[in-house]
Chains A and B, each alone.
Chain A
Amino acid sequence: MEYFSYLLPLLQFKVLWAIGLGTLGGIVIGALPGLTATMGVALLIPMTFGMAPIMGLNMLIGIYIGGIYGGCISAILLRTPGTPASAATVLDGYPMARKGEAGKALGMATIASAIGTLFASIVLATLAPQLATVALKFGAPEYFALSLFGLTIIASLSGDLLKGAIAGCLGVLISCVGADPISGVLRYTFGVSGFASGFSFTPALIGLFALSEVFTQLENLGRSDVATGKVSGRWPTGKDMRDSANALVRGSIIGTIIGIIPGTGSGTASWIAYNEARRSSKTPHLFGTGHAPGVAATESANNAVCAGALIPMLALGIPGDVVTAVLMGGLMIQGLAPGPMLFQTRPDVIVGIFGGTFVATIFMFIFGMALIPLASKILLVPRRILTMSIVVFCFIGSFAINLNPVDLYTMVGFGILGWGMQKFGFSQAALCIALILGPLAEANLRRGLLQTGDDLLAFVSGPITLLFLALSLLSLALPFIQARRARRAATA
């Protein structure tokens, strides 16, 4: 009973106001490419200095949840992932918008985001201390096996296996640019100091997905200059929801688990969830053509990461991803060092944060649903004007993130690359996955070798490592098994 009394401060008007404002601000920040949830939280921390912990922290959590959700708006409408977390949403969200189902795609994304966050919040509130220890089990071999499993997604996602593999290898090679993770030596920077940290991820994504699409549309400009015109209603049909149930469940669970594992984040979670939803679907061929379950999987996963990443942060003082690392700074400023002690010394703060994630999710759902008709009006803008505005946003967004002019070259370069890939049937998704997981795989392989004195055996022992390696093999073999079964069925 005592615990419920800790929830009462959440009902104060000023606290609700702060959470609501944070969530709405987060949605806007997330929808604008170049402003990420991480930046939003970081920039608003100083505002929370003078607030009570429950109010300040929950406002930041609102920004986080709103920000990760908001990224889907531009991903679906403009093929521009607002935050890296929404890159996978482009795959089915954008084709849906082009089919005139923008409203439904956004509606599905909003429902999925709410379900994902709610699921992870329930896990957070009930099982946080028990599950948090998962975060401690991951050493270099476990991370390597996880990233290897992630990379096998490329095989099943890219359609043409050879072209997918080429795109994946290219992504891994591109991610070698910058400082070597183990020795610190600069690789392939050609003396340009701006590349010292490698190609920045957000500008690369903006180029790869948004600018490349602009180029493609410019090619078609003379032929079809019709605005999509139709934006459809915002509520998915009962059939859509039934089709997506499986994707929602998988997305929520995968997102929560990936959230708990430090050093990975919503980007990884949404790709794995997308692949899992597609693999287990009865109609896998519909994915990528504007299929609602595709959106449901990625958006439930990336939002489940939000609350999932709070689990090790609150229970162990170890942030689950980049945003929670920043949030931890916000807690420290309040003189609250997260960790097991905080559960005993300040249960009011912990319970307040648990409650705050629920409140922020409700706000996110209401604001999201209310904003859909407004946001999707953007598709009524004539194509040629819209396209040119996207170009401007590509540049502003890429520069705003680090104020590094080299990021603009990165964005344009990846735009041309993405356009070429699209034209010749190479999977941009494969390249994107490799950009996320390539560095994780490399750093952990080499760290593991360093720690074990070049003993490869460490990479094939331990239950978690073996589990992920088995999953990788399965994921690689499955397309062949399925093809064989289909052949046999055809001959029989």
Chain B
Amino acid sequence: MNKKIAILAGLMGSLVATAAHAFPDRPIQIVVPYAAGGSTDLSMRLLAESLQRHIPDSTVIIRNQPGGGGAIGTSAVVHARPDGYTLGSGAQGPLALLPHLGSTDYTLDQVDFIGLVSRSLQVMVACKDAPFTDFDSFMAYAKTKAPQIGNSGAGGANHISTEAFAKAAGIKVESVPFGGASEAVAACAGGHIDAMVVSPAEALPQVQAGAVRPIFVEEDKRIDLFPDTPTAKEKGVDFTWSSWKGLFAPKGIPAADLKVLRDGIKAAYDDAEFQKKMTDMGEFLQFEDADAFAKRAEKDSVTAEAVIKDLGMYQMNKK
């Protein structure tokens, strides 16, 4: 009996002792709301590796919690204890879009942003045998008939952004949802749809093979990978869209610990090895601090809300 009490006391003592240590004194978990192996997952693994090098004495691990288009993992982070040990991979779909569909138990207001490390750029491509080959012929065709544009999932970022473009350009499109980006790319290369939106890195091999043609870039400026492809902006459609790769946390983390994390992500971003690997993978590196990231998220959320209302999908999954 005495022995048990002694062990118990010892254990409790060790708890007190660790609590006195500086943050972080145990592993930090980054929840990726998608299955392992996708581009978000791989970027986060690179970021975790770099964070570990730049936050002293830290261990950063990745936890994959897929499902519900990212809502399940994101919800787990929003409702986690705000102690800085559970962070989330800040993805556009689950944070800026899904709350408007009513399928989440959280909203964008419930999170604190830590920082953004890269963006996934978007290129609209004309698929094999499409009745258009560039921006002008695309717009001309769209005036007569709604082009069938594939996306990686109904209500996902890919779907909503295409509809947002159609709204900005004043055209009608027919969105064709697929079960993931690679299914849509297969249908596009096979000529079963007219167009789709992909990341430049995914588009490049297909463009080189002559299966698809880039129509326009959803950025402010032309991009290095496709220097001859115009932006929507220079063609007179005020539309940009990209998705995010960054970190967020549940609201309420002690200010000092939050600062450790925010400084940490900046240092991790500046790491040369991190930058090289991200670039090799085709990611577009760009750092934004917590405030800028929060503004970006807010802006995308407002754009998405309007489009989702137009589509009649607003709060459709509300319990």
Contact = CB atoms under 8 A, between A and B. Distances in A.
Interface of A: 38-39, 41-43, 45-46, 49, 135-140, 179-186, 191, 193-194, 196-197, 200, 262-263, 312, 316-319, 325-326, 328-329, 332-335, 337-342, 402-404, 443, 447, 450-451
B204 interface: yes
B205 to A, nearest CB: 3
A139 B192 contact: yes
B292 interface: no
B185 interface: yes
B186 A262 contact: yes
B179 interface: yes
A339 B205 contact: yes
B69 A196 contact: yes
B45 interface: yes
A34 B319 CA distance: 31
Contacts of A326: 36-38
In this complex, which of A182, A342, A402 has the most chain B Cβ atoms within 10 angstroms of its Cβ?
Answer: A402
B71 A181 contact: no
Nearest to B159: A184
Contact of B317 (A140, A186, A329): A186
A341 B69 contact: no
B171 interface: no
In this complex, which of B46, B103, B182, B206 has the most chain A Cβ atoms within 10 angstroms of its Cβ?
Answer: B182
B232 interface: no
Nearest to B279: A335
B109 interface: no
Contacts of B180: 325
- Pairs of residues from A and B, 3 with the lowest C-beta to C-beta distance, nearest first: A196-B68, A339-B205, A42-B36
B66 A402 contact: yes
Contacts of A42: 35-37, 41
Contacts of A262: 182-183, 186
A3 B38 CA distance: 32
A307 B35 CA distance: 22
A315 B182 CA distance: 14
Interface residues of B, number: 62
B192 A140 contact: yes
A179 B154 contact: yes
Contacts of B59: none
A184 B101 contact: yes
Contacts of B201: 332, 337
B18 to A, nearest CB: 25
Contact of A49 (B68, B191, B277): B277
Interface of B: 35-39, 41-42, 45-46, 49, 63-69, 71-72, 75, 101, 103-105, 128, 148, 153-156, 159, 174, 176-180, 182-183, 185-187, 189-193, 201, 204-206, 208-209, 211, 277, 280-282, 313, 316-317, 319
B176 A341 contact: no
A333 B38 CA distance: 11
Given A196-B69, A316-B209, A450 B35 contact: no
A319 B277 contact: no
Given A182-B154, A333-B277, A339 B190 contact: no
B186 A450 contact: no
Contact of A332 (B72, B101, B155, B281): B281
B185 A451 contact: no
Contacts of A139: 187, 190, 192
B185 A318 contact: yes
B190 A137 contact: yes
A404 B67 contact: yes
A451 to B, nearest CB: 6
A49 B46 CA distance: 10
Given A186-B317, A263-B179, A404-B72, A338 B205 contact: yes
Given A136-B190, A319-B182, A450 B176 contact: yes
A443 B184 CA distance: 13
A181 B38 CA distance: 20
Contacts of A196: 67-69, 71-72, 103
Nearest to B281: A333
Contacts of B63: 403
A64 to B, nearest CB: 12
Contacts of A329: 37-39, 42, 281
A403 B65 contact: yes
Nearest to B312: A183
Given A42-B35, A450-B174, A404 B65 contact: yes
A43 B186 CA distance: 25
A194 B155 CA distance: 18
In this complex, which of A179, A181, A184, A196 has the most chain B Cβ atoms within 10 angstroms of its Cβ?
Answer: A184
Contact of A184 (B38, B39, B153, B282): B153
B154 to A, nearest CB: 3
B209 A317 contact: yes
Contacts of A43: 36
Contacts of A317: 185, 189, 205-206, 209
B37 A41 contact: yes
Contacts of B101: 184
A326 B182 CA distance: 11
Contacts of A335: 280
Nearest to B148: A451
B156 to A, nearest CB: 8
Nearest to B191: A136
A197 B177 contact: no
Nearest to A332: B281
A41 B42 CA distance: 12
A357 B208 CA distance: 27
A36 B92 CA distance: 28
A343 to B, nearest CB: 10
Given A183-B313, A337-B282, 9 more contacts: A41-B37, A136-B190, A182-B177, A184-B317, A332-B201, A340-B205, A402-B64, A403-B64, A451-B148
